[in-house]
Amino acid sequence: MVKLNKKERGKMTIISLFAGAGGMDLGFLKAGHKIVWVNDNDFDSCKTYERNFKHKPICEDIEKINSKDIPDADIVIGGFPCQGFSVANPYRKIEDKRNRLYLELLRIIKDKKPKYFIAENVTGLCSIGGYENKEDKKNHLGKVLKVIIQELRNATPLGYHVEFKILNSADYGVPQMRRRVIILGTRKDIIPILKHPEPTHSRDGKYGLPKWKNVRDALDGIPENLTDKIPNHIGTNHKVKINGHLGNRATAWDKASPTIVGRGGGTGGPVIIPHPNLKRRMSVRETARIQVFPDDFIFEGAVTSQYRQIGNAVPWLLAYHIAKMIPKN
């Protein structure tokens, strides 16, 4: 077994795949780790990333990048593209080509053999393909997820301990009900095994924990009138129509926000939730606040692209708590 030495304690080198605007990366950096290589193929996301971080992403299709051109690192992280898996997409299919990009994550893990890996995806991943039995359904272990986990376990000759769990970002100080599948892998010659973090908040303040953050907490200090004096405090002209459908439900000041999404059904644009005043939809900056991006984190591209980047991001605060679980001795 390999125990992490003092030099490795507290700081790990990171390969970041499907990084998008960099929400997950920001959490790992704030936890004290170092990004040594980052990739995404979306031009606007790459511009946003380059503006906000000291290291430049490789803005290219990961399928075209040879593993030899990627440096070795302690950890591979990646929120592999989820549009085909998302429950917000009623057209999802197991054959969706976007669902196959996890194979690129698998390839990099096989080739670089990191000590750990962390993969993130939407809860729709759990049920796609259906369940083989009642026990699998109880454990949210659908056919596709089962295959992914098995392949990750066998990614190297030594193999990986692999655990998955559905985490709600609201349980970690994010003012948003955002449930995501977090898959953790620990190479079998490494001890101890990486575990999921315990919640830091609870819905009703139970277990001695603070209550969930709410929309009022998130939007504190932002004027209701849109203004270019605040970075990205711009919005969409799409009218508010409360009808109970996705993106058209009333947003409450005193509750955690509904999930911020990057897309609607099919090939539609981003679904922007209404402002609690119900007079307009959330601005880009307000949506970024819900995703706990700091106000000096600037988004590039057209307004729809900015919304999409935010909706596809991992809240850095959730990533931070995961990153803090990386063994330090």
Strand blocks (E) in 28-187: 34-40, 58-59, 75-78, 116-122, 160-168, 179-187
- For the chain, how many residues are written? 329
Other CB atoms within a 10 A radius of the CB of residue 103 amount to: 14
First to last CA, the chain: 13
Three-class secondary structure of residue 34 per DSSP: strand
Q: Edge-to-edge, what's the strand order for the sheet holding 58-59? A: 58-59, 34-40, 13-17, 75-78, 116-122, 179-187, 160-168
Residue 93 near residue 135 (C-beta atoms within 8 A): no
Radius of gyration of the chain (CA): 19
Provide the annotated active-site residues.
82
Residue 162 near residue 183 (C-beta atoms within 8 A): yes
Other CB atoms within a 10 A radius of the CB of residue 236 amount to: 16
Q: How far apart are CA 327 and CA 165, in angstroms?
A: 18
Q: How far apart are CA 151 and CA 185, in angstroms?
A: 11
* Closest by CA position to 49, among listed 79, 10, 20: 20
